[in-house]
Amino acid sequence: MIFQTPTYYDYSWVVQPTIDEKFGDGFSDKFVAAARPSPADDPAQAAILEAFGAASFIPTNNGNYAQIEPIGESAGLLVPARDS
């Protein structure tokens, strides 16, 4: 029997919520735009997506990991969050 996992979010790139305060308003939007390559515009960007086996990168949020977080916790793979 072959099993295919349901779709899940992986290869996350994380930006601190205070990044706009540090680097100026709109910086987080610029980061997201730079991190989402457009293969139609640039073959080098298509190569980046191909290396990940992806058709695109998409924005995500903490709620998208609610289903897999308990698995990571039970396996001892998650480090407790620190207050910064």
- Average pLDDT, integer, range 39-57: 79
Record the pTM.
0.51
- Average pLDDT, integer, range 8-28: 86
Specify whether the CB–CB gap between 78 and 72 falls below 8 A.
yes
Specify whether the CB–CB gap between 27 and 35 falls below 8 A.
no
- Average pLDDT, integer, range 8-21: 82
